[in-house]
Amino acid sequence: MREPRTWGEHLRRQRILRAITQRESANEIGAAEETISRWETGERCPGVRLLPKIIAFLGYCPYEPAAPVGRRLAIAREALGLTRLDVARCLGLNDSTISRWESGQRRPPAGYRQRLLALIGILGE
């Protein structure tokens, strides 16, 4: 069996390992059973607000460990269930700025690195 690549594949593998139904996993995550099915088949992807519950269900975070700063920002933000707009508002910025940081188009300036670390635990190295 190949390693899971999508959220749905991770969920399906964990659900099977735990020998539980889609309904049981849906109840644990706080989503509809049909939603779990759509994630597992790749028809849909989970929204960012449910990612903390999915990570808790999985027991791990399925992101790559040595990602660039922008990707680490996106990973941390999503793991906390925050949108780009949520982070932008906390930092007094526009969400397009956060998007540029995450895409690697720009790096967070030194003045924001400590604030990002305090907010979501990433370091803009």
Q: Where are the domains of the chain?
A: 7-58, 69-120
Query: Which residue has better confidence, 49 or 33?
Result: 33
Q: Which CATH superfamily groups domain 7-58?
A: lambda repressor-like DNA-binding domains (1.10.260.40)
Which amino acid, one-letter code, is at 82?
L
Give the chain's mean pLDDT: 87
For 69-120, CATH gives 1.10.260
Domains 7-58 and 69-120 alike in fold: yes
CB 57, CB 14: distance < 8 Å: yes
Read off the pTM: 0.60
Helices (H), the chain: 7-17, 22-29, 33-41, 51-58, 69-79, 84-91, 95-103, 110-120
With vertex at residue 105, the alpha carbon angle to CA 125 and CA 98, rounded to the nearest 5 degrees, is: 75
pLDDT tens figures, 63-110? 765 667 788 888 888 888 889 999 999 889 999 999 999 998 998 888
Give the pLDDT of residue 124.
40
